[in-house]
Structure 1
């Protein structure tokens, strides 16, 4: 494998001149730079990223850590992150699993965006103490080297629950995400607050998993407890994927139950598949691409020691088909 020394020898210049030319330094004339780059290409020279990072203390690589890659949620988030980082001159790598966490303390990346429940908050604080720059999307952490770009879960859950109540429902099922999920905890807290301040509303909580199968299991449990002639039920699924799973289960196993008439389902995330559901799924909408882009913007600011403030991604209620209620 060719080295800087090989390029310098063939070009008849010093090693430092080659280094300056490869890094685009104005200390080398354009003619010399062009000649050195041509020789580097001829020799198939590949820069040593590890050596460069030791010298410059930067890799120009950002890591985003996700709990997993399943479901339809992550595409727009990653696209927004990648587009912004590309404009800023950074590459993006996507990581999942505890074994990938070592990339942060080993300084293989310049900073990290965290949407990964397997990352301990204590570890993140410890890394921040050592100077690592972090943006968290799934927890609240106060540290000068950590910025929060959080989804407004409470506002979204409040909009969803109040909408169901305004439609006349007095029995509401909440299908949550995993118990370890920050977003799910925030949404459940908001749902409970709305129910507590509204007289005559009964809440049933079913633990889900943010996957389609979780929605199917929740639908099975809800249908098993329903009685003929009972007023229309209302279900707030804490993401669209579970809501779609619930709708599919009902369509397959309870053809006499009509979504939008006998049961009202609302989701969260406004994923693309929800737009094709029949009837159109009511859901909480926000821009996942903007969320990723803003996280990237904030992280680059942290890396450059610019002032940053915690940010919040705002949500809106997207109403589907009007439904029959218990009015």
Structure 2
């Protein structure tokens, strides 16, 4: 690989002169700068990003760590981050998996947005202790270098269960997300509390926030069916999985099995009958996370945020 030493040797100047020229410093004349840039181009010189980062102590790149990328949910969330970061001259790198965790301690990014259960809270605190700036979307942490932008899962679950109760339902099944999910746990705990308050008989089926587990849950419900039942899927992906399975059976959504989702992903508006679900802006959530990260990086006051939710009524849950 070509280095600035090679450029300096061919240009007949010092290494520091080459460095100044490549960084646009006025300490070097325009004539010398032009000569050095021409040689760098001729030699196909590629700047060492890591070395430049160490010198400037910034990369102008933010990271978002996600458990996975699947589903329509993540696209809108990331777009909100991209738009907000671009407004401040930052780019976004999307990371997943244990190996990508080194991007923080190695200084490859200026800060990170976390929606990844693979990060332990202890690991995140250790990074924050070393000065790394973090915004968490999936947990509550107290640290001067961490702020949180969380979804109002409590209100969302309460709205869902109260709507089912208002429609006269007495039996409720909750299909959860993965056990490590902060959002799933918050929704589940509030749903259970609201079900008890409203006198609903409640059962829980373990899911994983994807369509296959929604299909499996639907199969279990059909196998033990004894009358109309409300089903609260803790995300829309699982609700869509239930639709996929139930359309192949004699059981009708909104008549035998009444479904409520959470997320209001784009495909939800095309379901038949229309899925009852909890709505919020994924782009707003992503943008708010990015905005708070920029504030942390710039050492401005960052504040915790909560993203509001509303109930979208559909024909998938009706009166009984």
Residues 1:305 and 2:299 are matched in the alignment:
yes
Q: Which residue of 1 aligns with 2:19?
A: 19
Cα distance in 2 between the residues matched to 1:216 and 1:132: 41
Residues 1:284 and 2:283 are matched in the alignment:
no
Cα distance in 2 between the residues matched to 1:180 and 1:322: 29
Residue 183 of structure 1 deviates from its aligned partner by 0.2
SS in 2 for 1:221: helix
Residues 1:236 and 2:232 are matched in the alignment:
yes
Q: Which residue of 2 aligns with 1:247?
A: 243
Residues 1:262 and 2:256 are matched in the alignment:
yes
Q: Which residue of 2 aligns with 1:4?
A: 4
| Structure 1: unaligned runs, 5 residues or longer | none
Of 115-124 and 77-86, the range deviating more from structure 2: 77-86
Cα distance in 2 between the residues matched to 1:16 and 1:83: 37
Alignment CA distance shift 1:16-1:205 (3 Å): same
> Is the contact between residue 275 and residue 316 of structure 2 (CA under 8 Å) also seen in structure 1?
no
Residues 1:179 and 2:160 are matched in the alignment:
no
- 1:48-94 Cα deviation digits (max 9, x unpaired): 01111222222222221111223332111112212222332223222
> Is the contact between residue 260 and residue 317 of structure 2 (CA under 8 Å) also seen in structure 1?
no
Residue 11 of structure 1 deviates from its aligned partner by 5.8
Cα distance in 2 between the residues matched to 1:89 and 1:15: 30
> Is the contact between residue 113 and residue 136 of structure 1 (CA under 8 Å) also seen in structure 2?
yes
Cα distance in 1 between the residues matched to 2:74 and 2:129: 29
Cα distance in 2 between the residues matched to 1:125 and 1:54: 23
Residue 243 of structure 1 deviates from its aligned partner by 0.2
> Is the contact between residue 276 and residue 316 of structure 2 (CA under 8 Å) also seen in structure 1?
no
SS in 2 for 1:260: coil
Cα distance in 2 between the residues matched to 1:9 and 1:21: 14
- 1:191-237 Cα deviation digits (max 9, x unpaired): 12212222x3211111111011111111111112212xx3x211110
| Structure 2: unaligned runs, 5 residues or longer | none
Q: Count matched residues.
A: 320
> Is the contact between residue 262 and residue 324 of structure 1 (CA under 8 Å) also seen in structure 2?
no
Q: Which residue of 1 aligns with 2:209?
A: 210
Residue 296 of structure 1 deviates from its aligned partner by 1.3
Query: What's the TM-score, normalizing by structure 2?
Result: 0.92
> Is the contact between residue 259 and residue 317 of structure 2 (CA under 8 Å) also seen in structure 1?
no
> Is the contact between residue 282 and residue 318 of structure 1 (CA under 8 Å) also seen in structure 2?
yes
Of 61-70 and 174-183, the range deviating more from structure 2: 61-70
Of 87-96 and 171-180, the range deviating more from structure 2: 87-96
Alignment CA distance shift 1:27-1:85 (3 Å): farther
- 1:7-36 Cα deviation digits (max 9, x unpaired): 456666654454344334566677765665
Alignment CA distance shift 1:322-1:239 (3 Å): closer
SS in 2 for 1:73: helix
Alignment CA distance shift 1:153-1:27 (3 Å): farther
> Is the contact between residue 268 and residue 275 of structure 2 (CA under 8 Å) also seen in structure 1?
yes
How big is the alpha-carbon RMSD for the aligned residues of Structure 1 and Structure 2? 2.2
Alignment CA distance shift 1:223-1:123 (3 Å): same
> Is the contact between residue 77 and residue 291 of structure 1 (CA under 8 Å) also seen in structure 2?
yes
- Corresponding residue to 1:320 among 311, 314, 317: 314
Query: What's the TM-score, normalizing by structure 1?
Result: 0.90
Q: Which residue of 2 aligns with 1:295?
A: 289
Cα distance in 2 between the residues matched to 1:285 and 1:184: 15
